[in-house]
Amino acid sequence: MTTEMITIHSPDGEFQAYRAAPDGGGKGPAIVVIQEIFGVNQVMRDICDDLADQGYVAICPDLFWRIEPGIDITDKSKAEWDKAFELFGKFDPDLGVKDIASTIDVARRDSHGNGKVGAIGYCLGGLLAYLTACRTDAEACVGYYGVNIPKFVEEAGNIHGHLMLHVAGKDQFVDAAAQKSMHKGLDDNPHVVLHDYPDQDHAFARMGGEHFDARAADLANTRTRAFLQQHLG
């Protein structure tokens, strides 16, 4: 596996991204990994590395670059949580999706890629994965415990690829009414599948996190791997 930082050139400026790719001369699909509110941190890099081990080119862009480039924090201290929520409050998801679209363009041209591109996002990235499905040409997107999706549910008619959402039933940031709204707006969409985890809280798949649940995480990740294999090959 090869890892490096690369530069993404967008209409609004340049930003950095972490890239992990399998060794060897073969070509495979690319996955854009969409960060949580903690930036491109070790958790995101580990996800990229795992995807590279599965044969994907994985690219995780720094979506906070307009606010403060190079954010790399954890969920282990109050100061870091305060910083993360400060960044979240300043973040513009519309601009974030534009940056993801620029990253998708780079991923399609990657020397180790085969032209197909998917996306996986967590928390804030879960919302952005949903919006990526709605607003870009990504073939397959996966969102884990995305926040604020009901605000954009009317955009689901624009989805032409495929979308999978993992929904935590006891998510402290996505209440029961929001979950009901997501199901009402998305269950009948043939491009979308929702999986519910009734007993799980937000970030149940974040390794080392307060609400990490190994069994639920394994189930969600197994579903994700099968979904990406089906739609990206």
Q: What is the CATH number of the domain that holds 66?
A: 3.40.50.1820
Q: What is the secondary structure of 104-168 as a DSSP string?
A: HHHHHT-TTEEEEEEEEEETHHHHHHHHHHHHS--SEEEEES-SSGGGGGGGGGG--SEEEEEEE
- Render pLDDT for 32-64 as a digit per residue (tens, 0 to 9): 999 999 999 999 999 999 999 999 999 999 999
Residue 22 has pLDDT above 90, yes or no: yes
Q: Catalytic one among 171, 211, 213, 231?
A: 171
Could you list the residue range(s) of the whole structural domain that residue 67 is in? 2-232
- Render pLDDT for 64-83 as a digit per residue (tens, 0 to 9): 999 999 999 999 999 999 99
| Number of domains, the chain | 1
177 — pLDDT class (breaks 50, 70, 90): very high
- Beta bridge mates, 216: none
pTM: predicted TM-score of the whole model, two decimal places: 0.97
Tracing tokens 């282990």 back to the chain, one arrives at 76
Q: Catalytic one among 202, 211, 213, 231?
A: 202
For this structure, is 202 an active site residue? yes
- Render pLDDT for 116-172 as a digit per residue (tens, 0 to 9): 999 999 999 999 999 999 999 999 999 999 999 999 999 999 999 999 999 999 999
Write out the two tokens for 94.
């519309």
Q: In what order do the strands lie in the sheet with 113-122?
A: 2-10, 13-21, 57-61, 28-34, 113-122, 140-144, 162-168, 192-197
How far is residue 223 from each of residues 29, 84, 110, measured CA to CA in Å? 18, 29, 26
Structure confidence at residue 99 (pLDDT): 98
Structure confidence at residue 233 (pLDDT): 80
For this structure, is 171 an active site residue? yes
First-to-last CA distance in the chain? 20
